[in-house]
Amino acid sequence: MLLTVFQQLDTFVFFLVALVVAITVHEFAHALAATNLGDPTARAAGRLTLNPLAHLDPMGTILIFLVGFGWGKPVPYNPSFVKRGRWGEMLVAIAGPISNLLLAFLLALPGRIYLITHQALPQGQIYTFLAVVVTLNIFLAAFNLIPIPPLDGSKILYLILDGLGVSHARIVWLEQMGPVLLLLLIFADRLLGVNLLFHLLDPVVALMQWFVGSSIIPL
């Protein structure tokens, strides 16, 4: 019984560390992309760093420890400074999910190499930790690609709507309603009895898992 408790504690600590790493890399990527596209806002705000303290939101951090889920501080940027207009904003947005996917790919490599060289699935705490980090980064990447404001995928949606000639007023309305729509999506399971979030993310997560090879590292 005591051993089980410690194993569960280890997994929970792994989860917390992995979430902090995923959020930090995600927000840093936003800051780096914005800076490279000519916007000095993130650098001036001290966000062009891999120091987790610069990216963790106070309430989001508290919730990480209380419920095991949280969020980071959005990276500030000034659209008027970002080159390439809507395309530049989209590049800044997708930098976050792409960074999580790349990190997942890199951290899945030890498990893939172990499988090739030993013809067996990797075991042990190190691989368990890597599996947690990989899984969380994949989920964070997939979740943020949902095209609902304020998630990163909304910038792709704005680019499409702009190209279709949708009025700025309608885009502003969508941006205002986005958080409500996102909450409805998250809590649809309790409200409607249908896990819309799972159905939406499942094929994207499966594709990302295939890409990074994370399925060979057992949790």
Q: What is the set of active-site residues?
A: 27
Contact 30, 95 (CB under 8 A): yes
| Region label for 48, one of left (φ > 0), alpha (ψ between -120 and 50) or beta (otherwise) | beta
Sign of CA dihedral 49, 52, 56, 60: positive
Q: Give me the residue label for tokens 């994370």.
A: 214
Sign of CA dihedral 163, 158, 175, 36: negative
CA distances from 107 to 13, 37, 51, 217 (A): 18, 28, 19, 10
The C-alpha R_g of the chain, in whole angstroms, comes to 19
Q: Which residues of 22-33 are buried (b: 16+ CB within 10 A; e: fewer)?
A: bbbbbbbbbbbb
Q: Which residues of 132-158 are buried (b: 16+ CB within 10 A; e: fewer)?
A: bbbbbbbbbbbbbbbbbbebbbbbbbb
